Amino acid sequence: MTEPAAEAGRFGPQAALVGFAVRQPRVVLALACALLVFGLYALAGARYDVFPEFAPPTVTVQTEAPGLDSEQVEVLVTQPVEVAVGGLPGLETLRSTSIQGLSVITAVFKAGSDVDRVRQRVNERLAALAGRLPDGVAAPAMTPLTSSTLTVLLVGLTAAKRDAMDLRHVAEWTVRRRLQAVPGIAQVSLYGGAVRALQVQIRPDDLIRYQIGLNDVLAAARKATGVRGAGFVDTPNQRVLLRTEGQSLTPEALGQTVLHNDGGPSVLLSDVATVTAAPEPAISAALVDGTPGVLLMVGAQVGVDTRAVTARLETALDELRPVLQREGVALRADLFRPANFVDVATGNVLQALALGGVLVVIVLLVFLADWRAALISATAIPLSLIAAALALQAWGESLNTLTLGGLALAIGEVVDDAVIGVENASRRLRAARAEGRGGARVVLGAMLEVRSSVAYATLAVLLMFLPVLALTGVAGRLFGPLALAYIAAVVASLLVALTVTPALVLLLLGGRSAPGEAPREPPVVRWSRAGYLGLLARIGRVPRLAMLASLLVTLGGAAILPTLGAVFLPDLREGHMILHMVAVPGTALQESQRLSGLVTADLKAIPGVRAVAAQIGRAEAGEDTAGPHYSEIHIDLEPGLDGAAQRQVEAAIRTLIAGFPGAAFSLKSFLTERIEETVSGFTAPVVINVVGSDLDRIEAAARSVARELAEVKGARDVQQAAPAGLPQVTVALRPVDLRHWGLDPVEVLEAVRTAYQGDVVGQSYRGNAVVNVLVILDAQVRGRLSAVGDLPLRAPGGRYVRLSQVADVYESAGRYQVQHLGAQRMQAVTANVAGRDVASFVAAAKRKIAREVRLPEGVYVTFSGAAEAQAAARRDLLFHAALAGFGIVVLLAIVTGSAANLMLVLVNLPFAFVGGVAAAALTGGVLSLGSIVGFVTLAGISLRNSVMMIAHYEQMVNRDGRPWNAATAAEGAADRMVPILMTSLVTGLGLLPLALGAGEPGREIEGPMALVILGGLVSCTILNLLMLPVLAERFARFRPATVEDRVPMVLRS
């Protein structure tokens, strides 16, 4: 065994790695180069996104119930489906919305649940419902599984010379089908246009004139459009397929269908109805830059690469452009392109990462005054970060703003691991050359002197990040990958420091100077050391005053903390906003479209707005339950706008909508909305759930809550999510009159449904497109409220009676939707917050509602939304931080060997805390969840510095036999001054671009985090260098050196 190998073998795995590196430096460098090449190649094809997948495993079940109102849907459809889905393993939240003709149930499962297994279980439960739902209700179906951000592209179609039915036909049967076939796409939802139908529009007076019943019309239309297979003919040598034709596929042919023939002239379908191609009753509309058109909202599958799938979509659209041009259809594929923000956000973070790296290299050059030493230290950055990125890729994580932010946070730790070794090795090599020694043995010894204490300090840092990994909910899914990235980078840097750094030190520094050369320190180090020792001496003369000043500063920070506000996440600036416009329930679709057009025209005139698209109502088979009174207006901003410019545009939009009468508005960025909707099911940070069993009592309580909430300072956009007051016409059958005329209740109800909802009796074909054949009342008659009671009903014996003769027909007020939370009736009151933090607003709202609102019997309120999520995340973080803190104390007790030394290590935590609190107070006075994670990072960095300081003191006493006194304390502090300054500077300058760009696109979360860390670095570095030596001189306890103590205690473990 060689001498370095024998030396290394004494101290375990770390020493073995260092020993191998100094024995085989060229092999280690070759492996490092291979890692770089492989990493760059692998990361070129990595998956990039804005955020990690932040939505929990979720299953949405939709059930179509044509003709039923919201309360009927709730009782007859929603409740049975809720019972079926409820009780599944891992179910956390069950929400539902019942609207006219549709039930939507959302089941949210625990994080980590296998979503495929969950969907299989839900499907099994739904299969058991077969036959238990009312006639005419479709089978419950799960919607496709989509990514957290849902939308990957918003496409608009307009046509100046084509009608709405033709445009919708092109959108549905040409564009949608092509986009749906693109790999990675989950669904394509359509808004606007008009769905073509072959309609049989019944004229009531002609039914009576020809003595034809409604069922006769249905039967005739169904038979005329039916499709049947005919089989085949087998000849001796071939099989010949039989193909039948003859269905009535045109209005003219269908109108010639015979209804009745008693030997005289035949009564045709066209005699009692108008047969024509006409639009089905619309449930949505769309505007593209103010022009009526069709919007296609393209949703991506879970885990796809946003940029890659967008490129595939755009390729497919480019293929369709010539076809669309020939059809006279204009294509807008840039109304909303989330991949733009992915590029901007990741580009900004990568730019900050690169700039931080450059600043770090400058610091290394200044302090080390040696390009070789600086190169060795800087090499750790690409090696560690690439290794960490490869680990993230192997774990299935994308490279997003949070994982990249975690790598940026780790730059200081990454460089520090290498700097500690390089700085100590340089110092030992200079001293050894003065004695005529050098080479591998000195490098090995120098590395081993600091490696064990570095390992303990690194372990303490990793323990500090475990609470972040333990976060649950949306907070855990957002910040967990950041913590993973940080931990992976720190572990990688430790491995680099044990292998690559010693190899480079030996090759570049190990044999440069001639024996006997006097040790030289870099000029900056000499000047800094001399000034620092003088300052330390002056502080040492007034220790009590210095300690009192430190205590007062710490108490000041503690006093500031309660004044800080709290938010879940800061405002996100991805350059795309969504303006929600809610008119009075019952507003007609065309009126909502008109109002949206007025708003759109004004929005387009705002500088900085690039494109505006509006979706009104809901898409078929979409997850939204919006009615015709509800509009979402997409506002896409000019590219390249910074955070300040985007805030100016937002202010202009708010000024605009403040003066717009007749509707309620709410403005959000797209990602903010998606996160809030994931947290609570609603697109608002404050959600108050009014829960009970009686809808009228819930409504009254919700109105009271909304009224009081609007008076709380900072309340904005207060809305009831499901207010009553929907205009409706009630048809209440009278059993006595039904018996008198010999009519069955179901027959009457079916006649009303056919007249006003329409019955699909078959399909016709137009090329490869399927067109429904719909029997419905004449459009002019259908548009008159007074005509409802005049609907003719054919009684037994051929007599006709009006609907009003067997039913009470009157106008009333209903509900557009009925909401459930946990299978209980609920109505949500939502609010945005302006001018104050969300946490204090919610606290004030709770007090005011408890004081002012008298809830009816059986009604109670609960709070949800971003404020509750932030509070829950804070509780989780503090609890797990306490557990991690206990582990750190145990670890540090092993390292320090005494209670006094342990307290000296921990005293640096309040030092760091002071600066972080001050930074938060000076930059807005609000703590986001990112800021709290910044405090966690800061605690790890400050602990690392204090551990290294105390470990160095222990080495001086135990290894060198120095007495513990003021001179030793000052000299040890001076030895650690440069590494501490370099650690703080490289960490601070590495984060400086993120801090300066706080609020800019892509840096909204990491910016506040970086600001807290920078502030804490300033305070903990000053107090660590100036106060820790003073405290250590008085309170530290070290054993006198013995023969067996020639190796530091931290190495003997």
* Helix/strand/coil percentages in the chain, nearest 5: 55, 20, 25
How sure is the predictor about 279, in pLDDT bands with cuts at 50, 70 and 90? very high
Mean pLDDT of the chain: 85
User: Which tens digits make up the pLDDT trace of 104-129?
Assistant: 999 999 888 889 999 999 999 998 88
User: Which tens digits make up the pLDDT trace of 998-1023?
Assistant: 777 777 888 888 899 889 888 888 88
505-518: burial string, b at 16+ Cβ within 10 Å, e else: bbbbbbeebeeeee
Compute the Cα dihedral for 30, 35, 36, 42 and give only its sign. positive
pTM for the full predicted model: 0.85
Q: What confidence score (pLDDT) does residue 61 get?
A: 93
Q: What confidence score (pLDDT) does residue 557 get?
A: 82
Any idea what DSSP says for residue 101? T
Q: What confidence score (pLDDT) does residue 239 get?
A: 87
Q: What confidence score (pLDDT) does residue 444 get?
A: 78
Which backbone phi and psi does 618 adopt, to 5 degrees? -130, 160
Is-contact 918 557, C-beta < 8 A?
yes
Task: Give 625 or 311, the one with higher predicted confidence.
Answer: 311
Q: Does 233 have pLDDT greater than 80?
A: yes
**29-33, 64-68, 321-325: segment of lowest average pLDDT:** 64-68
Q: Does 457 have pLDDT greater than 80?
A: no
Determine the distance from the C-alpha atom of residue 259 to the mean position of all C-alpha atoms in its chain, rounded to a whole number: 58
How sure is the predictor about 48, in pLDDT bands with cuts at 50, 70 and 90? confident
Is-contact 573 1000, C-beta < 8 A?
yes
Cβ contacts of 274 within 8 Å, gap of 6 or more? 199, 200, 201, 203, 778
How sure is the predictor about 517, in pLDDT bands with cuts at 50, 70 and 90? very low
User: Which tens digits make up the pLDDT trace of 882-903?
Assistant: 888 888 888 777 777 778 888 8
Nearest to 187 by CA among 514, 619, 631: 619
Q: What confidence score (pLDDT) does residue 829 get?
A: 93
Q: Does 1045 have pLDDT greater than 60?
A: no
The Cα 46–Cα 39 span in angstroms is: 10
Cβ contacts of 726 within 8 Å, gap of 6 or more? 585, 586, 813, 814, 815, 816
State the SS3 of 594-634: HHHHHHHHHHHCCCCEEEEEEEEECCCCCCCCCCCCEEEEE
Q: What confidence score (pLDDT) does residue 786 get?
A: 85
The Cα 448–Cα 1047 span in angstroms is: 10
Q: Does 1047 have pLDDT greater than 60?
A: no
Q: What confidence score (pLDDT) does residue 1053 get?
A: 36
For residues 32-52, average pLDDT: 87
Radius of gyration from C-alpha coordinates of the chain: 36
The C-alpha angle with vertex 430 and arms to 425 and 432, in degrees rounded to 5, equals: 90
Q: Does 327 have pLDDT greater than 70?
A: yes
Q: Does 519 have pLDDT greater than 60?
A: no
Q: What confidence score (pLDDT) does residue 713 get?
A: 92
Q: What confidence score (pLDDT) does residue 1052 get?
A: 41
The Cα 121–Cα 117 span in angstroms is: 6
Nearest to 35 by CA among 302, 390, 273: 390
355-366: burial string, b at 16+ Cβ within 10 Å, e else: bbbebbbebbbe
**440-454, 490-504, 772-786: segment of lowest average pLDDT:** 440-454
The C-alpha angle with vertex 84 and arms to 80 and 87, in degrees rounded to 5, equals: 130
Q: What confidence score (pLDDT) does residue 195 get?
A: 92
Residue positions counted in the chain:
1053
Report how far apart, in Å, the C-alpha atoms of 965 and of each of 497, 977, 1033 are. Answer: 33, 18, 6
Q: What confidence score (pLDDT) does residue 434 get?
A: 64
> Which domains can be identified in the chain, with CATH numbers?
3-45+341-563+897-1052 (1.20.1640.10), 204-278+732-759+781-814 (3.30.2090.10), 576-726+817-863 (3.30.70.1320)
Q: Does 62 have pLDDT greater than 50?
A: yes
Q: What confidence score (pLDDT) does residue 478 get?
A: 86
CB atoms within 10 A of CB 83: 12
Is-contact 212 221, C-beta < 8 A?
no
User: Which tens digits make up the pLDDT trace of 189-201?
Assistant: 999 999 999 999 9
